[in-house]
Amino acid sequence: MLEACEITCIKRDRTLFEGISLSVDAGDLLYLRGPNGAGKTSLLRILTGLSAPDSGTVRFNSVDIAVNASAYLSNLVYLGHKSGTNGSLSAIDNLKFWLAQHSTNVNDDALYETLARIGLVGLEDVPVRYLSAGQQRRVALSRLWLKKASVWVLDEPFTALDTKGVALLEQFMKHHVENGGVVITTSHQALSEEAGRYRVFDLEYRF
């Protein structure tokens, strides 16, 4: 499904990684590990097409994502380590704005149901700036429930989540891959058995 071939990334004259190859197929959960500065976020951005590699290619269903970006992006949800919400907008309006950007239509009932599922009952219409960091993170993560995408790329998705929130997200990741999806994630904390089976890809810091 998604394949990186001989990927190299250079930042400020330092080679973060060189000649990396990896592949994930339907039903795969890939846990990307490595110390700070090893290039985890840079690799995720390359896998999503947000950044270009210095060499190498990324293919989705055997097609270079640079050649047919729209087909790939329609099947992708990327969540960065920052929540990416607008503090002036409510949780509901943040989701509506994000869905409009991704040409996805979801009715209000489904939006409220999703926010309830992720533990934000009664906070749906509150400006996000008044929510805690963990609640803001839940708003961002609720996008996973709303866009029907096969590939999830998640950069530190557990940031600011409490134990219950971590377990909920791990269970949803497991459900996604069991239904033929793909998850690629980084995390400073190890995945638990709630996440199900997963593979590990280690990045090392290069001096």
For residues 102 and 36, membership in a common domain is answered with no
> Quick one: DSSP state of residue 54?
S
CA dist., res. 51 & res. 179, Å (int): 29
Residues 127, 25: one domain? no
| pLDDT at residue 156, rounded to an integer | 95
Residues 64 and 96 in one domain: no
pLDDT tens digits along 36-79: 999 999 999 999 999 999 999 999 999 999 999 999 999 999 99
Retrieve residue 118's tokens: 């992720």
- Please answer whether residues 85 and 139 qualify as being in contact, where contact means their C-beta atoms are separated by less than 8 angstroms: yes
One domain for residues 71 and 162: yes
For position 175, which CATH number holds? Answer: 3.40.50.300
Let me know whether 65 and 153 are in one domain: yes
Domain limit, last residue, from 130, 148, 166: 148
136 and 177: one domain? no
Picking from 171, 182, 185, 155, the residue whose alpha carbon sits closest to that of residue 118 is: 171
Q: Which of 106, 129, 148 is the last residue of a domain?
A: 148
48, 114: one domain:
no
User: Of 131, 148, 165, which marks where a domain is finished?
Assistant: 148
Q: Domain check: are 91 and 144 in the same one?
A: yes
On whether both 158 and 199 belong to a single domain, the answer is: yes
Give the largest CA-CA distance in the chain: 52
In angstroms, the CA 6 to CA 8 distance is 7
Instruction: DSSP letter for 195, please.
Output: G
| pLDDT above 70 as % of the chain | 100
Whole-structure pTM value: 0.94
Length of the chain: 207
Least-confidence region, from 19-23, 172-176, 202-206: 202-206
Task: Give 114-150 pLDDT, tens digit per residue.
Answer: 999 999 999 999 999 999 999 999 999 999 999 999 9
Pair 163, 66 in one domain:
yes
Its domain, for residue 61, covers 1-75+149-207
Q: How confident is the model at residue 207 (pLDDT cuts 50, 70, 90)?
A: confident
